[in-house]
Structure 1
C-alpha cells in the first residue's frame, strides 16, 4: 500500500481518537453533569445491558434501506423521462423542486394522518429525502455525453435504446453513484425524522425518549449508532461504485 494512502487513512483516525480523549478530559476536569454533556465513557456505559438497541438499530436500518431502494426504483426511470424530452423535463422539474422544498419535518405529521403509525410513513419520509439527489444526479449524468457523440451515434443508425444503453447509461454511472452516496445518508436522516414524529421503536425514538428523560448518554449513544450506520452505508455504496466502474477516478 502506498505511503500516501496509509497516511490519508491514519490521519482521520488519529484525529478522531485525539478528539475523543480531549472530550473525555474536558468533561471530567470541568466536572460537567452527565445530563448536560456526557463523557465518551458514559456513552459507552449507557449501552451496557441494553439488549434492545440491536432491535431499534435494525428497525431504523430497515426503514432507511427501503426508502433508499424506493428512491432508486422511482428516481432512475423519472430521470430517464426528464432526459428524454424537454417538454417532460419542463413539466416534472418544477414538481420535483416543490417536493424537495417542503420541509420533511412539517410533512411527516400529515403522513401520520394519511397512512397512520407504523413503518410506512418512515419509509415514505426516507424516500422523499433520498429521491431528489437520485433524480438530479442521474439526469445530469444522462445528459453528460457530448452532442457530437450522440449525433455520431444517430448517423450510424443507432436506435434510442442503443444510445441509452451504450452511451448515456455508462456515462451516467459516476453521477448516479454520486447521487446514491448522498441519498443513502439522507435516507438515514429521513427515517429518523419519521421516528421523531410518531414511533415507539427505532433509534430516532430512543433519542426522543432518552432526551425527554434526561438520559443524555443514551441519546448520544443512539446518535452514535446513527452516525455509524450512515458511514457504513456510504462506504458500501462507494465499494459498489468501485467494483462497478473501476476505470473511474484512476487518473486522480
Structure 2
C-alpha cells in the first residue's frame, strides 16, 4: 500500500522536476551562449549564490508569510460567514453579491496605497489588502457549495423534523466543503499577491519590499531570488491544499 502511494506521489512530482531542470538548464545555456550581462539576466549559479548569501532573507519571508496567511485566515472567516448569511437571506444575496463581485475586479495596486494611507505603515494594511483580494473566491464558492445539495434531501430532512442546525451540519457544510477547498486553492496565492503588492508602499521589510529595492538598485540576482521564493510559496500552497482535498474530500467528486 505504501509503495503504491509512493509511486503515485512520484508520478505527480517527476514531471514537475523534469520541467524545472529543463527550464533551469535552458536558462543557463541562453545566458552563457548569448553572453547576457548579469545585471540583465543573471546565471542560475549567480542566483543560488545570492540566495545563500542573503542573511536577512528569512526575515523578509517570515513577514510576508505572516501577512499573507493572516489575511487568508481573515478571508476564510469573513467569507464563510458572509456566504452563510447570503444563503439564508434573499435580501442579502441581492444586496451583497454584486459588491463582492465588484471587490474582486478592483486592482490590488489601487487598493494598497489607500489602505496604507488609512491604516499606516505597519502590518495592518498588508493583512487587510491580502484579505480583501482573497475574499471573493471564498464567498462565491462557499455560496455555490451551500446551494449545491439536491432539494429532495432538504425535503427528507424536513420530513424527519430536523432542526436548521442538523440540516446545516449533515447536508449544507458537507456539500460545500469541496467548493470551499477549491476556493482555498485560488485564495491562498491571491493572499500572497495582496501582501506583496501592499509591501510596495511604505514597507521596510518583506518580499515585496525586497522586489522593489532590488529592481531600483539593478540587483537582478536578488530580484530573481525574491520572485523564485514567491513562486515556490504559491506552488507549495497549491500542492498542499490539493493533497488535503484529495485525501479528505475525494467523495465530493472533484
TM-score w.r.t. the length of structure 1 is 0.93
Structure 2 unaligned blocks of 5 or more: none
Are positions 1:97 and 2:113 aligned together?
A: no
Taking the aligned partners of 1:242 and 1:110, their CA distance within structure 2 comes to 39
Residues 135-155 of structure 1: CA deviation (Å, up to 9, x unaligned):
111111100001121122112
Residues 3-25 of structure 1 show CA distances to partners (whole Å, capped at 9, x for unaligned) of 67644431221121111101100
234-243 vs 168-177, greater mean Cα deviation:
234-243
Q: Which residue is equivalent to 1:219?
A: 223
User: CA, structure 1 residues 201+135, in 2 after alignment: closer, same or farther (shift >3 Å)?
Assistant: same
Name the counterpart of 2:32: 28
Q: CA RMSD in A?
A: 1.7
1:56 aligns with 2:60: yes
Shift of residue 247 of structure 1?
3.4
- The CA deviation string for residues 110-157 of structure 1, in whole angstroms up to 9 with x for no partner, is 111111101110001100111011111111110000112112211221
Question: Cα deviation per residue 1:132-188 (whole Å; 9 max; x = unaligned)?
Answer: 111111111100001121122112212222111110100111001000111111111
Partners of 2:71 and 2:164 lie apart in 1 by 31
Correspondence for 1:237: 241
TM-score (norm 2): 0.93
2:206 corresponds to 1:202: yes
- Rounded to whole Å, the distance in 2 between the matches of 1:213 and 1:154 is 67
The one-character-per-residue Cα deviations of 1:5-49 (angstroms, maximum 9, x if unpaired) are 644431221121111101100111100011111122111111232
Query: Partners of 1:5 and 1:203 in 2: how far apart?
Result: 30
Q: How many Å separate the matches in 1 of 2:104 and 2:9?
A: 38
CA distance in 1, matches of 2:119, 2:190: 22
| Partner SS, residue 218 of structure 2 | coil
Matched, 1:155 2:169: no
5+ residue gaps, structure 1: none
Q: Is the 8 A contact 2:175 2:252 kept in 1?
A: no
Are 1:185 and 2:180 matched, yes or no? no
Count of residue pairs brought into register by the alignment: 250
Secondary structure of 1:197's counterpart equals coil
For residues 179-202 of structure 1, the C-alpha deviation after alignment (integer angstroms, 9 at most, x for no partner) is 011111111111001011221100
Distance in 1 separating the partners of 2:36 and 2:231: 24
